[in-house]
Amino acid sequence: MTVLALDSTEKTASAALTANGRLIAEVTLNTGNTHSEHLLPMIDGIMKCSGLGYDDIDLFAFSAGPGSFTGVRIGAATVKGLAFGRNKPCVGVSALEAMAYSLPFVSGIICPVMDARRSQLYNALFRSDGQNIVRLTEDRTIPADVLADELSALGEKTAFIGGGYDIIAKAADGKIDVINTSEALKYESALSVAILAEKQYNEGNYVSDVDLRPIYLRPSQAERMKNGDNS
């Protein structure tokens, strides 16, 4: 199975192409929220380098959120556009779970974190034995200090990943045993999105391009202001 996957949920944008679980190409750009300008050229680049066309793709996948509202929408629109009219299955995966799949070798707690603003983090907790990953919580928003106390209560070695890395590392300093995450593994990866998407496809969890939907854990700023919340 050939999978085209992308992630644009945070400041880092990533696109990857896999075949039967093997990486063919991946490109990551960490220059800020410029996904509307760079995501499609990134995807076109790996497609041209691989010698494949979009009709050769068996599964289209994207990181469906949570994350930046604009980034999530750009990812959804891009996948819908590429898959449109091709009658190919599509998968939207949790951005947080995809990040956990970037650290499968960790033995302990994997703690993906994304800056949700308003003193909150997007987060979910996972436990890994170095091979298998088990979800411990649903995707959620949580204050950094509350998350730090929760991790302290678990009392296990913990690895952080994601754009909220520095926030939770500061809140948890001295409270837990932290597994160092290298710079190369601190960010979201479209390869992990592809791996998780193929797993979900094999479990029968996929939709058409028409039915593909983003994941939002709370209303956008525009929606909050419309409802009178200016915070």
Place of tokens 């991790």: 151
Other C-beta atoms lying within 10 Å of the C-beta of residue 53: 9
User: pTM of the entire structure?
Assistant: 0.91
- What pLDDT is attached to residue 219? 58
What is residue 225's predicted lDDT score, i.e. its pLDDT? 41
**DSSP states of 48-113:** HHHT--GGG-SEEEEEEESS-HHHHHHHHHHHHHHHTTS---EEEEEHHHHHHTT-TT-EEEEEEE
- Per residue in 165-174, pLDDT tens? 999 999 999 9
Beta strands in the chain (DSSP E): 2-7, 13-19, 22-29, 59-65, 90-94, 107-117, 120-123, 126-129, 133-135, 140-142, 158-161, 178-179
Is the predicted pLDDT of residue 227 greater than 60, yes or no?
no
More confident residue, 189 or 224: 189
pLDDT at 155: 96
Q: Half-sphere exposure of residue 129, counting CA atoms within 13 Å on the CB side?
A: 3
Structure tokens that stand for 174 in this block: 């001295």
Which helix H or strand E contains 207, and what residues bound it? none
The answer to whether 200 and 93 are in contact (CB under 8 A) is: yes
Which structural domains are found in the chain, ordered by start? 2-96+188-226 (3.30.420.40), 103-185 (3.30.420.40)
Instruction: Give 44's contacts (C-beta < 8 A, 6+ positions apart).
Output: none
Residue 212 parent element (H or E): none
What's residue 146's pLDDT? Answer: 97
* pLDDT of 222 strictly over 90: no
Q: Name residue, tokens 């509350």.
A: 146
Residue 226: pLDDT above 50?
Answer: no
